[in-house]
Structure 1
Amino acid sequence: MREINHFNDFIKELRTVGFTIGGENGEGVFTLSDAFGESIAWHTEDPETDPWEWRIRVLDEYTDIAYGKLFFRKSGYITKEWYPYFLAVRRGKKELQEEYEEGNVTIMAKRIYDVLSEEKELPVHLLKQYGGFSGEDKSGFDKALTQLQMDFYISICGRARKRSRSGEEYGWSSTVFCLTENLFGEEVFRKAGKLSYEQAFKRIEKQIYLQNPQARSAKVNKFITG
């Protein structure tokens, strides 16, 4: 990995590697954070050198990079080129209704998915409202959001601020979620459909070991499969 000193460096390296954990802890696999130069500093609010700001810039400026809770239930990035491989491993041809009936998906996750299936995309505050979630549901709601992202059923697709009755925006921006099908379109699903689980797994595994030949096999497996 080449040294990363600003946002454009990060995007170039991400496109080269294809995916990365979002933070500094590579979990024994790898992270582009290991290539950060001295100019990179977290939580400075500088959009060029603060990685915390980059997740917002990626969502605002690019349509071929996914960001969300993707690895170890933590943040990460995947380019559109590599998305079908993870999709083939994590989701394959599974449908959420079937997974729910088999007890692999929580009722809260199903409620979130059903709302997004109807509305296409929603910011978190409206997702809670339309889904009838209360403050007491916060823990289960957050876990369900993470589960759905890790299983590649939903994705972060932008951000939006709340609006007053008069239509004026106010407050902090809220994360917008959509179905995975609406993130990159059917193209990635067609590509994923042509891949077997084994083909996709081995392709990702090979790329990981190119970045870190000493990566721990158990962690690599968890990174890939979720």
Structure 2
Amino acid sequence: METINGEWIMRGLRWDDPKRICSCGELTALIKEIGFLPLFSGEVEGFSAEEHVSPKYWWSGSREHDPWKWREMIAGEHEVAYGKFFGGRAGFISAEWLPYFANYRRGGYDFDARYEDGLANHREKLIMDRLVDRDEDGEAVFDNKDILSTELKKLCGFGKGGEKNFPGITAGLMMQTYLVTAEFRRRRNKKGGEYGMAVSVLTPPEAIWGYEHVTSAYGESPETSWERIFERVRSLFPQAGDSEIISVIGKKP
């Protein structure tokens, strides 16, 4: 996606291109095949969902054709993770590759340990404490709280006269893989009717895929996990330069 004269111009394939991704299921299959995929185009040519679909139906609301709608559907199916994983921009990570991203992005830290070592701030802790329970020994217990992000913002004290930059803080937690988007849902009024645009539900990935799976790459160094990710992109997109790949996946720890 690029901006020309203030207008978004979407990249993509012709409607009749046989290589075009035609459905939500096909996009999920592509993400699993590659392992991880930004939603929108960036510095590495071909390395995005945008470049594999037609630009014709973006933001049309069609479940059959709209890639923006597909990302809502994919997030709720939990076959792959969805969140702001690539330079603060949206994208997908397969369950297979999620542990390597978690190890690299977290530096081997669970959130509690990160906070205790002074590497996380109090606004991040406000959010994580709302989404993670504790057992009688004080250990983290992960369960999908099913809280709309609009409600989570209020519960954590963000907003007028309170804490600032809820979108930036949650984006940072997603970049570190402490949070993912579990699903999208529309808000409901007092009569139970839905209204407005769909809103994200944020949760720790451990609440979906389990602590043991998400942290299963902690046994290797964060540098090794980064190298796996880097080499995966380089093998699939050999035309990309090292700096272009790093601009998408992030720097080596």
Query: Same fold, TM exceeding 0.5?
Result: yes
TM-score by length of 1: 0.85
Shift of the alpha carbon at 1:72? 0.9
Q: Percent identity?
A: 26
8 Å contact from structure 1 (residues 109, 141) kept in 2? no
1:104 to 119, 126, 130: 119
Distance 1:206 1:186, change over 3 A: same
Give the stretch that moved more between structures: 203-212 or 76-85.
203-212
Total equivalences in the alignment:
221
Shift of the alpha carbon at 1:206? 1.8
8 Å contact from structure 1 (residues 64, 184) kept in 2? no
Q: 2:199 — aligned with what? A: 174
Shift of the alpha carbon at 1:103? 4.4
8 Å contact from structure 2 (residues 20, 54) kept in 1? yes
Matches within 5 A, 1:67-216: 67-118=82-133, 120-121=144-145, 122-135=147-160, 140-165=165-190, 168-172=192-196, 173-216=198-241
Larger helix proportion of the pair: 1
Shift of the alpha carbon at 1:78? 0.7
8 Å contact from structure 2 (residues 189, 195) kept in 1? no
CA–CA distance in structure 1, aligned partners of residues 42 and 130 of structure 2: 34
Shift of the alpha carbon at 1:140? 1.2
CA–CA distance in structure 1, aligned partners of residues 57 and 235 of structure 2: 27
Q: 1:32 — aligned with what? A: 49
Give the stretch that moved more between structures: 88-97 or 64-73.
88-97
Give the stretch that moved more between structures: 209-218 or 128-137.
128-137
TM-score by length of 2: 0.76
Q: 1:48 — aligned with what? A: 64
**Cα deviation digits, residues 111-170 of structure 1 (max 9, x gap):** 11111114742211221222122235685111100000001111111133334456x243
Distance 1:132 1:32, change over 3 A: closer
CA–CA distance in structure 2, aligned partners of residues 10 and 110 of structure 1: 34
Alpha-carbon RMSD across the aligned residues, in angstroms, is 2.5
Shift of the alpha carbon at 1:34? 2.2
Indicate the structure whose relative CO is greater, using CA pairs within 8 Å and at least 6 residues apart. 1
Are 2:22 and 1:22 aligned? no
- Any gaps of 5 or more consecutive residues in structure 2? 1-17, 134-142
Distance 1:49 1:211, change over 3 A: farther
Q: 2:14 — aligned with what? A: none
CA–CA distance in structure 2, aligned partners of residues 191 and 135 of structure 1: 40
8 Å contact from structure 2 (residues 181, 201) kept in 1? yes
- Any gaps of 5 or more consecutive residues in structure 1? none
